[in-house]
Amino acid sequence: MNNDNNENRNKIRRKKASSSSSTATRNSSTTRSSSTSRGSSTSSSNKKTKPKKKKDKFKTLRSILVVCLVLLVAGVAVGTGVVFASLRNAEPISKALLEEKTYQTTRIYYANNDLLSNAPSVNKKQPVPLKDMGKYLPKAIVAIEDERFYEHGGVDIRGLLRSVVKTLTGDKQGGSTIPMQVSKMLLTSTEQSLPRKIKDIYYAHEMSKVLSKDEILELYLNNFFVGKGLAGAEAGARGYFDKKASQLTLGESALLAGSTQNPSRYSAYITAKLEGNETKDDVANRLLFFINTPDDTLDDPTPMELDMVEKLNSWGLIPNDDTYKQLKAGTMVVRKAVPNPKAKERRNIVLGKMLQTGAITQSEYNEAVAEEINIKLPKPKESVSSSVEDLIEYKVIDALVAQGNTKDEAYNMFYNGGLKIHTTIDPKMQKILEKEYDNDNNFPGSRHSNGMTQPQSSMVILDYKTGEIKALVGGRHITGRKTLNRATTPQQPGSTIKPLSVYTPAIDTLKLTQATALSDTTANLTPYKFKENNKWNPNTTTPGKDIMSLRKALAYSSNTIAIRTAELLGDSYKDCVDIMMDYLKNFGITTLVDSNTANAESNDRRFPALTLGGMTHGISPLEMASAYGTLANGGVYIEPTIFTTITSYDGQLIVKNTPEQHKVVDPDVAYVITDMLKAVITEGIGGKAAIPGGMPVAGKTGTTNKALDAWFVGYTPYYVGATYIGDDAGRKNPTTGEFIPRESVEGGSGSAAKLWSIVMRQIHENLKKVDFKVPDKVYFAKINLIDGGRSSSGVKAAFIDGTSPTKYTSRANAVKPKHEESTTPPENQNNEGTVDNNTTPPADNGGGNTTPPTDNGGGNTTPPADNGGGNTTPPADNGGGNTTTPPPNNGGGTATPPPSNGGGNTTPPADNSGGATNPASNPTGQ
């Protein structure tokens, strides 16, 4: 049956395929008939073909029309959907709502949502009635922004169409009316999008129903942005000309009206450097003061500018003593405000438009065009602010700029936008920090001279698991807003750099361990591996006669062993430098000077900078806290943040702060460094940082030459903190003009460690005592702290699986004494010049090390007599071995492990009375 059906279907198709052929088949007996039939069929076919082609043409046309209709319907549907979606959350418009938004204030909140502060009022808009804005400013705004303002109902259709046409022809022109701009200022945003434009049109239409023209114009003039963080007619008039809006001249009114098109480009003034020949009248009410830091775009003050500071002060043009001292110190610079030529050009365009529309007469126009721009800045009335508030402002502005706003727009949003800024600051922790910084007893040698407090100090506390800044102080006895924030200013780090640049990469090789023992002697007795270091040959900070394990070397901050350890990181000097630079960058250090061509004196690609901290710029306490927090956080770096979200007045999210994070080292490596840093407090020179009650602390001290800078950076299982103390650099005597030398920090890093402990004890008061979590790949073994060998009575030290001490100690063990800071050996300076290699260790300066590479890179070779509370005699036993008795026949040599020995020590040869005990591949170059 199936086959029959298939055959039938085939016959049907063949029949349809050729009707003339089948006719011929049926009439095959009569040729004429067949011919007639074919002719008839052909004729009939020809007649039917013409209307068939016509029918196909209409079909194509109909298809096109159908497609167009579908697209039209779809477009209308989509457009309607976009409109409805855009207006879904539209607010009902009322005069009360718009006035409320005009008077709104940006609020800054603590992490617990309590109010921290309101945004500074220095640039806050000051709404005034329309009648108090003078007769020219309203006319100028209408002429240049919306000349048919009094004719349309909120939306100018002609203006919108003209804007579309000009945009399509490449000549961009705005079509927003004054009501639409009021909507953008108060109800929507500056976002360039179709939904926002639709909402502005809707709000402008609704606004015109409930408000009079004058009320709408008043709203505009009280909120429009004129640049330099100034919003509104009154704020603009006071900020540029130190007068009320009602007192503005025609030229000044036109200038403010013109600036609204592009406030950054057309603001009334620009800043310029002082030239040195200015008179008092040239600069009176035109001076601007800016904080000067290494990472800003400001040029350092020249000698001429510093001389001008004296003139300005004698003329009474510097607002207060603190500003004067910072100007003399170079931490602040002064600039003058000069009229902006682009603003003048734009002003004249506005005046021309006013003349064209009949708003002014020809004589008024002529007089205003000839008017000079007379900038007169108001006297500053900035209240005292904390460093944390200033930092919040800077970070919020940066975040708003990153969203696509100009800097001027970002400042306007911050000062006048009614933002809600949620910070990471813990109010209790911040209060503790500020209280202790108000207590001069926490700063030995505190003095107040020439209106400034010295030594200065800063401290930062982070939650290293999130990167959140919990508390921050940028200076002592701050007397104004936007003063120098020492928490974010680079300082010479001294020995605090060692765990980051030397010991972390060393442990990360899995070839060096806490048990690795190296020579503590200088190059005179045991040469370094690289000739550059033999030439440098810094002082030893420990007895300098023996070997010691890396654990003890870090705990006692040995300079020589830090250098010898760094030399094992690569095959060449350059390789080692590259590795240390890479680790520091991964730890979030941004102030490195990394150049292969730069002068050695201004370049950090060298051992003095990377091993002992004699850097070009230094490292800020904030970045140092974040770097140490990486170790506490299992080797994961998290960018520090001071705010979590920025929302609009009505709760719409503007910015969500998502900190950058990346892995630096594995958790087991980070833990071994943590274990070594715990030894700094329990076995080394950082005992003053201990927290009463036994809360575990890991950290590192640091000082520079002559103890001019003192540090302690440490962390607990909860928080990380960095404390810095030191005189401000570059200060000048106001009478003689001579530089004031910096004084040593009394107590050295011991003072910084003690302050750190005082603060952290209170912060941890109600926290449960817990220890740092030990990773799965870490185990413990007892070692002798001198030769690093296994010892049943030694100190328990952490090791990574696959590494271990490679021998048993040959040293006699003694009972470990209770650690006291006063019994610890010293740290000393980084001296790049000739070294006095006598065997008596220098006095204890508390644990730090270098200054910037001036004066031979290391400064004076003689530290202060006692700067850390300790004497120069090490304890008889440090937990595993005697530090005063050298091993038999060792002569103070090194015991460097071969590359594949898993981090242990080699057995010294039978007799090595004067050299190194390392094997043939001698890393010290012998």
HEC assignment per residue over 331-357: CEEEEEEEECHHHHHHHHHHHHHHHHC
Greater pLDDT, 239 or 906? 239
911: pLDDT confidence band, cut at 50, 70 and 90?
A: very low
Q: Out of 45-49, 66-70, 377-381, 610-614, which region has the weakest mean confidence (pLDDT)? A: 45-49
pLDDT tens column, 548-576: 999 999 999 999 999 999 999 999 999 99
Q: Out of 490-494, 598-602, 610-614, which region has the weakest mean confidence (pLDDT)? A: 598-602
Tally Cβ neighbours within 10 Å of residue 321: 14
- Confirm whether 589 is domain-assigned: yes
What share of the chain has pLDDT > 90, as a percent?
56
Range from 139-143, 259-263, 478-482 that averages highest in pLDDT: 139-143
Tally Cβ neighbours within 10 Å of residue 257: 31
> What span, in angstroms and rounded, lies between the C-alpha atoms of 763 and 154?
58
- Confirm whether 354 is domain-assigned: no
Computed over every residue of the chain, the mean pLDDT equals 80
- Predicted pLDDT at 814: 41
> What span, in angstroms and rounded, lies between the C-alpha atoms of 631 and 629?
5
Q: Out of 140-144, 152-156, 456-460, 919-923, which region has the weakest mean confidence (pLDDT)? A: 919-923
> What span, in angstroms and rounded, lies between the C-alpha atoms of 537 and 740?
30
Count of alpha carbons within 13 Å of 431, Cβ hemisphere only? Answer: 6
- Predicted pLDDT at 80: 63
DSSP state string for 38-73: HHHHHHHHHHHHHHHHHHHHHHHHHHHHHHHHHHHH
Domain extent for 535: 494-593+604-612
- Predicted pLDDT at 154: 87
What's the domain count of the chain? Answer: 1
- Predicted pLDDT at 74: 66
> What span, in angstroms and rounded, lies between the C-alpha atoms of 247 and 251?
11
- Predicted pLDDT at 916: 33
The mean per-residue pLDDT over the stretch 98-108 comes to 88
> What span, in angstroms and rounded, lies between the C-alpha atoms of 486 and 926?
45
- Predicted pLDDT at 827: 40
Check whether 662 has a pLDDT greater than 80. yes
- Confirm whether 560 is domain-assigned: yes
DSSP state string for 613-679: ---SS-B-HHHHHHHHHHHHTTTEEE--BSEEEEE-TTS-EEEE----EEE-S-HHHHHHHHHHHHH
60: pLDDT confidence band, cut at 50, 70 and 90?
A: confident
Q: Out of 325-329, 374-378, 583-587, 790-794, which region has the weakest mean confidence (pLDDT)? A: 325-329
- Predicted pLDDT at 492: 96
Greater pLDDT, 911 or 556? 556
- Predicted pLDDT at 25: 40
- Confirm whether 498 is domain-assigned: yes
Check whether 121 has a pLDDT greater than 70. no
Greater pLDDT, 541 or 730? 541
pLDDT tens column, 485-504: 899 999 999 999 999 999 99
Burial of 675 (0-12, 13-18, 19+ CB in 10 A): buried
- Confirm whether 104 is domain-assigned: no
Q: Out of 116-120, 157-161, 435-439, which region has the weakest mean confidence (pLDDT)? A: 157-161
pLDDT tens column, 393-428: 999 999 999 998 888 889 888 988 889 999 999 999
pLDDT tens column, 148-194: 999 998 888 877 776 666 555 655 555 689 999 999 888 886 666 77
Question: Which residue spans within 691-740 are E strands per DSSP?
Answer: 698-703, 709-715, 720-726
Q: How many residues are present in the chain?
A: 926
Do residues 835 and 861 touch, judged by C-beta distance below 8 A? yes
- Confirm whether 541 is domain-assigned: yes
Q: Record the pTM.
A: 0.74
Do residues 859 and 772 touch, judged by C-beta distance below 8 A? no
Phi, psi of 63 (to 5 degrees): -60, -45
> What span, in angstroms and rounded, lies between the C-alpha atoms of 147 and 156?
10
- Confirm whether 557 is domain-assigned: yes
- Confirm whether 19 is domain-assigned: no
Check whether 875 has a pLDDT greater than 60. no
